[in-house]
């Protein structure tokens, strides 16, 4: 089978590409940038094109002959990007991918959205019927991407949406690495009491879900929250990461709101400066927002079953960070 993976040299995409190649599929990748894994994926047999999902003729050409499109390219990690970038990539890019899939006769499109479309969950754990209340423009555009996907479903495209929790695992260059690094120092500054709920998702479990979504029946136009078996408080997460690393960590609590105010100020100041602010509101929100969900719908309708436990995933991630010189 030939599969197109957009965002396929990124953290999540590269794991999916490896698995698909391992299964004997032909894999095309479209990504903005070579990333950490370009050479490895190429060696494994991936056909990689550096370019944008907003490039209509390119997307159309790469979609030709594909049975499946796994669409996970997204404007994502950078703060202070103009809103137009998020809209063009996450909404218009998704429209271009879906249109190309229709024209090329693709059998199914799997769209990678995010749990973030639900924002803070007032009564955790939430589920897919929890109100859509994105907290920032990135999350808003990811949801608008879902709307676009479902417009195409109404016109006959086979497509399904996944809403992953907080993805972690080998190769994650960002959020979890930051937590591991702080834990490695033996002292973790926690804004607030650390009681916010957090739902991790080990990368191999998510890849299982992407593969299930390619073939599951009766799922068109549906959205599925994908997470690990359990969710934890952020304080517990820090302690479990320390355990996974085999180190002691002291958690030092500071009040939340001053941290939030400084984050907002940093964002403002850095508007006029190059680079990313050291603190920004989305990062500060990590300390207070509840992000915990049931994964019953995915279990029932996709046959999803997270096989790697949170602790095992954290341990494997620690090993990868150490072996690759990140810690
Ligand atoms: N990480 C999480 O916890 C999480 C949680 C829920 C959902 N998600 C979703 O999961 C997907 C993968 O995320 P990730 O964590 O693996 O992020 P990632 O490593 O940044 O992967 C996304 C890839 O897409 C590329 N990309 C951005 N704009 C593009 C464009 N216009 N055309 C082609 N490629 C483009 C990125 O390149 P650049 O680096 O150049 O932008 C990057 O290589 C995204 O759809 C994200 O919204 C992530």
CATH number of the CATH domain containing 82:
3.40.50.720
Measured at the alpha carbon of residue 300, what is the angle toward residues 204 and 226, in degrees to the nearest 5?
35
Mean pLDDT confidence for 235-239: 98
Assess contact for 46 and 29: CB atoms under 8 A. yes
- 304 Cα to the center of ligand 1, angstroms: 22
Domain assignment of residue 236, yes or no: no
166-225, pLDDT tens digit by residue? 999 999 978 899 999 999 999 999 999 999 999 999 999 999 999 999 999 999 999 999
CA 56 to chain centre: 24
Domain assignment of residue 188, yes or no: no
303-325, pLDDT tens digit by residue? 999 999 999 999 999 999 999 99
Domain assignment of residue 277, yes or no: no
Domain assignment of residue 215, yes or no: yes
Residue 6, pLDDT score: 98
Domain assignment of residue 96, yes or no: yes
Smallest CA separation from ligand 1 atom 31, residue:
52
Among 6, 49, 72, 95, name the best residue to mutate to test ligand 1's pocket (greatest count of ligand atoms within 8 A of Cβ): 72
Domain assignment of residue 323, yes or no: no
CA distance 280 to 266: 6
| Domain count within the chain | 1
Ligand 1: nearest atom to the Cα of 201: 3
Taking only Cα atoms into account, the Rg of the chain, rounded to an integer number of angstroms, comes to 19
Distances (CA, A) of 202 to 90, 165, 258, 310, 316: 23, 9, 32, 7, 10
Half-sphere exposure (Cβ direction) of 127: Cα atoms closer than 13 Å: 8
Helix (H, G, I), strand (E, B) or coil at 146: helix
Domain assignment of residue 44, yes or no: yes
Show which residues are catalytic.
Answer: 138
Q: Is the pLDDT of residue 77 over 70?
A: no
Burial (CB count <10 Å: 0-12, 13-18, 19+), residue 57: exposed
- What band does 89 get if pLDDT is binned at 50, 70 and 90? very high
Q: Is the CB of 7 under 6 A from ligand 1?
A: yes
Q: Which residues constitute the domain of residue 118?
A: 2-168+200-228+290-307
Assess contact for 129 and 29: CB atoms under 8 A. no
- Residue 71 tokens, joined: 């669409």
Domain assignment of residue 266, yes or no: no
For residue 294, what are the contacts with CB-CB under 8 A and spacing of at least 6? Answer: 125, 126, 127, 225
For residue 266, what are the contacts with CB-CB under 8 A and spacing of at least 6? Answer: 277, 278, 279, 280
Assess contact for 181 and 317: CB atoms under 8 A. no
CA distance 114 to 142: 7
């Amino acid at each position: 089978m030939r599969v197109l993976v957009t965002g396929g040299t990124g953290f999540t995409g590269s794991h999916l590409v490896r698995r698909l190649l391992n299964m004997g599929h032909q894999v095309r990748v479209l990504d903005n940038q070579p990333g950490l894994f370009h050479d490895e994926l190429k060696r494994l047999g991936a056909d990689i094109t550096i370019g944008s999902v907003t490039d209509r003729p390119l997307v159309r050409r790469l979609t030709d002959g594909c049975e499946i499109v796994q669409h996970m390219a997204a404007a994502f990690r950078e703060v202070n990007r103009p809103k137009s970038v998020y809209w063009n990539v996450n909404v218009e890019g998704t429209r271009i991918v879906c249109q190309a899939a229709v024209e090329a006769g693709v059998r199914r499109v799997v769209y990678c959205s995010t749990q973030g479309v639900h924002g803070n969950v007032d009564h955790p754990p939430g589920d897919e019927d929890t109100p859509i209340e994105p907290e920032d423009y990135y999350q808003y555009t990811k949801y608008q991407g879902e709307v676009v996907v479902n417009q195409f479903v109404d016109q006959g495209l086979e497509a399904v949406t996944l809403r992953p929790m907080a993805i972690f695992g080998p190769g994650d260059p960002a959020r979890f690495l930051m937590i591991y690094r702080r834990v490695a120092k033996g002292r973790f500054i926690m804004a607030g009491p650390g009681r916010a709920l957090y739902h991790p998702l080990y990368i191999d479990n998510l890849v299982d879900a992407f593969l299930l979504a390619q073939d599951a029946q009766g799922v068109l136009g549906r959205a599925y929250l994908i997470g690990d078996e359990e969710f934890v408080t952020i304080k517990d997460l820090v302690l479990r990461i320390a355990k996974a690393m085999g180190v002691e960590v002291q958690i030092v609590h500071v009040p939340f709101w001053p941290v939030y105010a400084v984050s907002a100020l940093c964002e403002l100041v850095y508007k006029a400066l190059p680079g990313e602010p050291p603190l920004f509101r989305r990062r500060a929100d990590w300390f207070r927002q509840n992000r915990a969900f049931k994964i019953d719908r995915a279990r029932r309708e996709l046959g999803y079953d997270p096989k790697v436990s949170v602790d095992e995933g954290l341990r494997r991630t620690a090993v990868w960070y150490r072996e690759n010189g990140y810690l």
